[in-house]
Amino acid sequence: MKAGTDLAQIASLVGDPARANMLAALMGGTALTASELAMEAGVTLPTASAHLARLSDGGLLRMTRQGRHRYYALAGHQVAGMLESIMGVAAELGPRKVLPGPRDTAMREARICYDHLAGEAGVAMFDAFAARDLIAIEGDEVNLTTRGAIYFSGFGLDIEAMLEKRRPVCRSCLDWSVRRSHLAGSLGAGLLDRFIALRWVRREKDSRVIRFTPPGRTAFEKLLREA
Amino acid sequence: MKAGTDLAQIASLVGDPARANMLAALMGGTALTASELAMEAGVTLPTASAHLARLSDGGLLRMTRQGRHRYYALAGHQVAGMLESIMGVAAELGPRKVLPGPRDTAMREARICYDHLAGEAGVAMFDAFAARDLIAIEGDEVNLTTRGAIYFSGFGLDIEAMLEKRRPVCRSCLDWSVRRSHLAGSLGAGLLDRFIALRWVRREKDSRVIRFTPPGRTAFEKLLREA
DNA sequence: TTCATACTTTGGTTAGCATCGAACTATGAA
DNA sequence: TTCATAGTTCGATGCTAACCAAAGTATGAA
């Protein structure tokens, strides 16, 4: 009964269409203002404000003020993971009639999952790194190997800074579209940042879809082969 | 927006206290009748009936008639996984005030997760089997090794029958209390069944807690050491 | 200071839905 | 058949919460 109450409390926060749309938008990983989230959810500002207050009180969102803006973001990876798992069930149950449209296909290929790369590209990358011993999978844990630390430093990531933070460098995250793991953690986030900086990929605006540029695609595939 | 609607639809099913209590009860893995679930949720039969209809329509529950009884069970492992992940967030956010009571401690040590062993005992078992090469962890997948097939057959499990079914023999399942993986799949389920048959463990009634019998504890630890 | 923008608070309306009692259906037992 | 148990359907009630408009607060710009 206690378990049920907790369950209901969290789930009911997600269970409202307006709030769910906000949360889905925040799965993109970038913090958004109250107005942007109101737009996203299709409600007026006052309504959005009330919803955001509830989500923050409930611990699902974190807010930071910046001048007269208030930026909202998901409270953490665990929340993002929970949302993914609910989406997974919805995806399993949902496609009674509709076959995956072009948008869904793009999502399946590559998308942002909070702050790192997910979809087929993310899974392929995870597997390739594991095969090259850049990361070591031990049970549920994923760890950076020495080889990996050297390699990723050479790729332009500040591995030392990552190691000092509390956030795990490597984590595996279950992919709802492919049902396999991809790489999360600060390494996963750092890699995606780097891909964007190198113009290998571009975020499609107002969506979680990640598009590879033609040279980016080539470079990414080379990376996986030769890592 | 579409993503948000799907999300909300599923989450709102879980977001009602009565329904959440029913789902939490079904996390025990055993199918329960409508009356039992009504008791569990603390509502009258008509109310429970309406809730169960909604959960079934929503695809979260599966129902089988048996005489004048109707047994309800979770629709599948994905649903169970989703519930665990929501519980995980609740557990992370919840313990503002309360420190874990004796019941929670017992849950942390060993509990049933749908149909297999979870908690510290489950994680220890998973690690021990991996260390002995009875199971092989490859990325997100877990596979039974030949050594494992022989070993578990000797332990009294019908491995051949498991291999023929569609359900994966091995699967890893993330543990919310320990944040590590434990063994799910038909092997995980089969092992728990065997432990119960051998009287190594006992289910505490009306809860997910698993209690080791004193000889069972000894035998279990021996199993982990010598597997 | 004055105006504009970003957001929150308040107040009041509305809609949905959780709930129960009572009546109805179906299965099993005597 | 008749009675009992298990469950569903129906109708009515009441509460919650989602919603918006309007007024209020806070920050930045002119």
Same domain as A66, residue A129: no
A144-155 pLDDT per residue, tens = 988 999 999 989
Provide the shortest C-alpha distance from residue A26 to chain B (in Å): 11
Tell me the β-bridge partners of A219: none
Q: Which of B1, B2, B6, B7 to mutate to test the interface with A (most CBs of A within 10 A)?
A: B7
Protein-proximal nucleotides of chain C (any atom < 7 Å from a CB)? 5-11, 17-23, 26-28
> Of B60 and B217, which is predicted with more confidence?
B60
**Is the CB of A90 less than 7 A from some atom of nucleic acid strand C?**
no
Q: In whole angstroms, give the CA distance from residue B27 to residue B77.
A: 10
**Is the CB of B43 less than 7 A from some atom of nucleic acid strand C?**
yes
Q: What letter represents residue B70's amino acid?
A: R
Query: Are B207 and B135 contacting, i.e. CB atoms less than 8 angstroms apart?
Result: no
Same domain as A194, residue A112: yes
Nearest to A169 by CA among A144, A149, A147, A140: A144
For A191, the domain range is 79-226
Q: Is the pLDDT of residue A117 over 50?
A: yes
For residue A101, the model assigns a pLDDT of 47
Protein-proximal nucleotides of chain D (any atom < 7 Å from a CB)? 5-11, 17-23, 26-28
Nucleotide showing the shortest C1' distance to residue B38 CA: D7
* Contact flag A81-B85 (C-beta cutoff 8 Å): yes
Q: In whole angstroms, give the CA distance from residue A207 to residue A209.
A: 5
| Residue ending a domain, choose from A75, A92, A125 | A75
| Residue ending a domain, choose from B49, B75, B101 | B75
In angstroms, the CA of A14 and the C1' of D21 are apart by 26
In angstroms, the CA of A115 and the C1' of C29 are apart by 63
A38-83 pLDDT per residue, tens = 998 999 999 999 999 999 999 999 998 877 889 999 998 889 989 9
Same domain as A43, residue A23: yes
Same domain as B111, residue B209: yes
Q: In whole angstroms, give the CA distance from residue B85 to residue B201.
A: 26
Report strand pairing: A111-113 vs A116-118.
antiparallel
Concatenating the DSSP letter of every residue in B49-76 gives HHHHHHHHHTTSEEEEEETTEEEEEES-
Look-up: residue for tokens 């906000």? A22
Same domain as B58, residue B97: no
| Residue ending a domain, choose from A40, A75, A110 | A75
Which DSSP category does B184 fall into? E
Same domain as B114, residue B13: no
Residue at shortest CA–C1' distance from C18: B47
Same domain as A108, residue A6: no
Q: What letter represents residue B108's amino acid?
A: R
Look-up: residue for tokens 């973001």? A73
Same domain as A128, residue A54: no
Same domain as B148, residue B216: yes
Q: Which residue in the set A15, A21, A137 is minimally distant from B15, CB to CB? A: A15
Number of H helices and E strands in chain B, helices first, is 11, 11
Q: Which residue in the set A22, A60, A82 is minimally distant from B85, CB to CB? A: A82
What ipTM, to 2 d.p.? 0.66
Q: Is the pLDDT of residue B77 over 60?
A: yes
Give mean pLDDT, residues B87-114.
Answer: 70
Q: Is the pLDDT of residue A115 over 90?
A: no
* Contact flag A79-B59 (C-beta cutoff 8 Å): no
Q: Is the pLDDT of residue B56 over 90?
A: yes
In angstroms, the CA of A70 and the C1' of D26 are apart by 12
Provide the shortest C-alpha distance from residue A19 to chain B (in Å): 8
Nearest to A111 by CA among A38, A202, A220, A210: A210
Region of residue A98 (phi > 0: left; psi between -120 and 50: alpha; otherwise: beta): beta
Instruction: For residue B15, give the CATH number of its domain.
Output: 1.10.10.10
For residue A162, the model assigns a pLDDT of 84
Q: Is the pLDDT of residue B177 over 60?
A: yes
Q: In whole angstroms, give the CA distance from residue A188 to residue A199.
A: 17
Nearest to A113 by CA among A24, A187, A39: A24
Could you tell me which residues come within 8 angstroms of residue B184 by beta carbon, excluding any fewer than 6 positions away?
A: B77, B113, B114, B116, B170, B171, B172, B173
Same domain as A123, residue A22: no
Same domain as A215, residue A106: yes
Provide the shortest C-alpha distance from residue B139 to chain A (in Å): 7
Same domain as B90, residue B71: no
Nucleotide showing the shortest C1' distance to residue A43 CA: D19
Q: How many domains does chain A have?
A: 2
Q: In whole angstroms, give the CA distance from residue A89 to residue A187.
A: 28
